[in-house]
Structure formats: C-alpha cells, structure tokens
Structure 1
Amino acid sequence: MADRIRTLLFSIVFYGLSVPIVLAAPIAALLGTSAIRRYSMAWAGLGLALAHQILGIRVAVEGQQADGPALYAVKHQSMFETLAIATMLDAPAIVMKQELARIPIWGWVARRYGVIVIDRAGSAKALRAMMQEARTAVAEGRSVVIFPEGTRVAPGETPPLRSGFAGLYRAIHLPVVPVACETGRVWPRNGPKRPGVVTFRFGEAIPARLPRDAIEAEVHRGINAFEPGLPGPV
C-alpha cells in the first residue's frame, strides 16, 4: 500500500510539473541549442530529485565514464535510466525512435536538442540521415547514447542487439562503454514503483573498429552484467 501511495504522489507531482515544463520547451528551443539542452537537463534533474525524495530511489555508480566522447550502450528497463544517464553524461546525443521525432512540436524540440533519429524500417535514406546526425554530435564533442536492444525489457530479459547499433558503431568510430543497470527492479513497467538503490555499472571502454560479431558480443555481455546466467567477460 505504501508503494502505491508513493507512486501516486510521484505521478501527481512529476507529471503535474512536467506538463507546463514541456509546453514551455519550444520557447527554450527558440533561444538556441545550448538553452534547450540546459532546460532538458533541469527537467531530468527534477525527475531524479523527485524519485529520490518521494519514491526513495537512490543511485549508485560503479566503474568510470570514458575520458572524452564515447558511444554509451545502455540497458533499457524503464524511464528512470533515460533521465539518469542524460544527467550523468551532461546532455549527450540520444538515439531516439523516429515515431517520437514525428510528434508535432515535441519532435522539433528534440531535434533542436540534438537527438539522433533512428528508423526501424531501415531505409537507406534514413540510415544516411542517422549517420550524419551522429557525426555532427561527435564533431561537437558530445557523447552518444543508444539503447541497443531497441526497447524496454523486463529484468531477466536479454534480447539480441538491434542492427542499428552496429551501423552507428561503424559510422562514428568511437569507443563503446556498455552500461548495465537494474532499474526495472524498482521502476517496473506495470505496478507501483519501489524504494531501493539502483546501480549503474559502467564497463571498460571497448575500442572502435572491431568486427561486428565481436563488438555485439562484448556489448551484450556488458549491458547484461546484472542478469543471471550470462557468461562474464573473457
């Protein structure tokens, strides 16, 4: 019962505040790329603060970020890690589904922020556009974040990586840092959220230009470091 009350209270406060924040985002976007990035990080920080204060969710970090821009491949179990990883990496370029980029006004704001849009249909034109957006982010000195499994999964699920990851890795020539997390344990897709410590484990940086089979195997192991039954690093 306590978890349900906390979850309801969080939803009322967070989404109640998010509505005017999102509605005002186009104004921040008109002020420029830097302004909308700072604005977005403030909103993400608000979400994390409320999750800590209301839901009792705390963050622990293991490992280290890369020295300089990198491609961060992150396990995706909930909305929580999208907020957390954005603040940890200070407004990285995030790979986003094309369906989200098509939302009126919001999609324009997201592009103004500097997301990288991926088309799951995989047309050649869309793939070239994604690669160009990624190279632009790298040229700005920004890190890139991708959720390589393509969608949220429940704890214990370890689907294969989507093909878009390998294409992005090949295009931008950055080292890859796999990030494992266990957010689904406290932030399930259905049901009340629960208090607890969420650990983000940054793996060792994997060099660029590895063969596709090798990089996908390394990243799959790295992002699933908390999942039982998978072999450890070799």
Structure 2
Amino acid sequence: MILRNLLSIPRSLLFYAAFYGGSVFFVLGSLALMALWRDGFRAVVRGWGGWHRLCARVLLGIRVELENPVFKPGVLYAIRHEAFFEAIDLPWLFRLPVVFAKAELMSIPGWGLAGRNYGLISVEREAGARALRTMLTEARRLIAEGRPLIIFPEGTRVPHGQRRALQAGFAGIYKLLGLPVIPVAVDSGPLYHRTWKQPGIIRYRFAEEIPPGLKREEIEARVEAAINALNA
C-alpha cells in the first residue's frame, strides 16, 4: 500500500502533463474546425474524451467497466457525479451527448466556446423562468437530432460515501421535457477525486429505464437510489 501510494505521485504528475498538455491541442483543433467542418469538430471533441481515457489507462492504471450499458437517443441520463472523470469522459462514453453544465464552465477561454458549439447547455442556477425556457428549447432542439441528454442531478461533485439531495431543477427538467430517465451510478471518487490518483477500476452501472410522467417525489427517490448503487 505504501509503495502504491508513492508510485501514484509520479504517475499523477505524468498524467497531468500529458492530458492537460494534450488538451491544449484538442481545444485549438476544435476551434479551428468549429465553423468549417462540423463532423471534424465533433470528432476532435470525441477524441479529447478518448485521449483522457487513454491517459487514465496507461499512466494512472485506471480501467473502465460498464454494467448493463444502454445507449439510445431520446433519453435523459442522470449520472452520479463524484469526480471530473465522468464529466471529461462523456464525449467518449456517449455518441454526441448534450450535457447540462454549470455556467461557469462556459467562461473558460476557448474551451467554453467549443463546449457551447458542441452541445453544452449552460445552467444558470439563479436564473428565472425565462432562462429555463431558453435552456429547455435548446435541449429539445439538440435531442431532436437523435442525441442523448445528460444531467448530473446532484448539481455538483459529491464525495464517495456521501449522499446529497437532488437539485430541484432535475424534477422540473424531467417533467417539462417528458423524457424517460436512465440513472447511471459511477464510483470514480476513490481513484480519481484526489491530487494523487490511484490505479483500479471505475465502474458505470446503468439502471433500468424510468418512464416519464412520475410525480416529483417518486422520480427523485428512484433516481437517487439508482445513482448511489455504487456509493458504498
């Protein structure tokens, strides 16, 4: 255990240098292609997720396992959020995901512009009804293209072993969009949510699809239980 912890330091440093250094070129490449070649732009964004997965596998010794994976359009995926891992992994895990993301991310130079053009939907936590309508209109437009919709219903990263009530906006989005929900549990926290990252397996567990139209108390209870299935 001591040797493993010591080895995690140089491995993590190599990971930071490789992944974030390489990310500069992916961002620049996406900006160059954004207005000229849509498919090329999207391929670069997906490649960024693949680069992250490769760096995690080779440099950190982190492997990914999927349990009962279901990939389909016209669905709202509600994913547990423990670390940056699953957020960066989304373009590789899903095909052209549309992601509800906090507005602060859109202010990152270069990256924010690319994110908005790819399909990130800015979430203004203190915004009113008008901003919510704009956000849902954009979501409907993008999922009409056959793209899956992704949300982190807890609203922020929650340490492994802890639970947090779902944000109130999740039930509203579920009701107004009228989409079925597939909850996804993930246990990235123990390996990835730390300065010196650890080798091991990060699992995604896809739960059964939940139909639209449930009452708020029921949908929140079912999603919260499902996304915490690996949180022990």
TM-score (norm 2): 0.92
CA-atom RMSD in angstroms: 1.5
The aligned residue for residue 178 of structure 1 is 183
- The reply on whether 1:41 has 2:50 as its aligned counterpart is no
1:205 partner SS: coil
Deviation at 1:66, TM superposition (A): 4.8
Matches within 5 A, 1:83-162: 83-162=88-167
Say if 1:45 and 1:83, in contact at 8 Å, map to a contact too.
no
The aligned residue for residue 80 of structure 2 is 75
The aligned residue for residue 211 of structure 2 is 207
| Deviations 1:54-83 (CA, angstroms, capped at 9, x unpaired) | 100001111131544310000111111123
The aligned residue for residue 3 of structure 2 is none
Deviation at 1:107, TM superposition (A): 2.7
Say if 2:62 and 2:201, in contact at 8 Å, map to a contact too.
yes
Query: Could you tell me how far apart the structure 1 residues matched to 2:108 and 2:72 are?
Result: 35
Residue 34 to residue 173, structure 1, CA distance change in 2 (3 Å):
farther
Residue 34 to residue 129, structure 1, CA distance change in 2 (3 Å):
farther
Runs (4 or more) in structure 1 with deviation over 4 Å come to none
Structure 2: unaligned runs, 5 residues or longer: 1-5
| Deviations 1:169-188 (CA, angstroms, capped at 9, x unpaired) | 11222110100010011102
Query: Could you tell me how far apart the structure 2 residues matched to 1:151 and 1:167 are?
Result: 17
Deviation at 1:102, TM superposition (A): 3.5
Deviation at 1:98, TM superposition (A): 1.3
Residue 32 to residue 123, structure 1, CA distance change in 2 (3 Å):
farther
Structure 1: unaligned runs, 5 residues or longer: 229-234
Query: Could you tell me how far apart the structure 1 residues matched to 2:175 and 2:109 are?
Result: 31
1:215 partner SS: helix
Say if 1:33 and 1:112, in contact at 8 Å, map to a contact too.
no
The aligned residue for residue 217 of structure 1 is 221
The aligned residue for residue 201 of structure 2 is 197
| Deviations 1:195-230 (CA, angstroms, capped at 9, x unpaired) | 0011110000000111111111110001100124xx
Deviation at 1:104, TM superposition (A): 4.6
The aligned residue for residue 56 of structure 1 is 61
Query: Could you tell me how far apart the structure 2 residues matched to 1:7 and 1:44 are?
Result: 18
Say if 1:138 and 1:172, in contact at 8 Å, map to a contact too.
no
Query: Could you tell me how far apart the structure 2 residues matched to 1:33 and 1:145 are?
Result: 21
Query: Could you tell me how far apart the structure 2 residues matched to 1:42 and 1:67 are?
Result: 21
Say if 2:27 and 2:114, in contact at 8 Å, map to a contact too.
no
Deviation at 1:32, TM superposition (A): 4.5
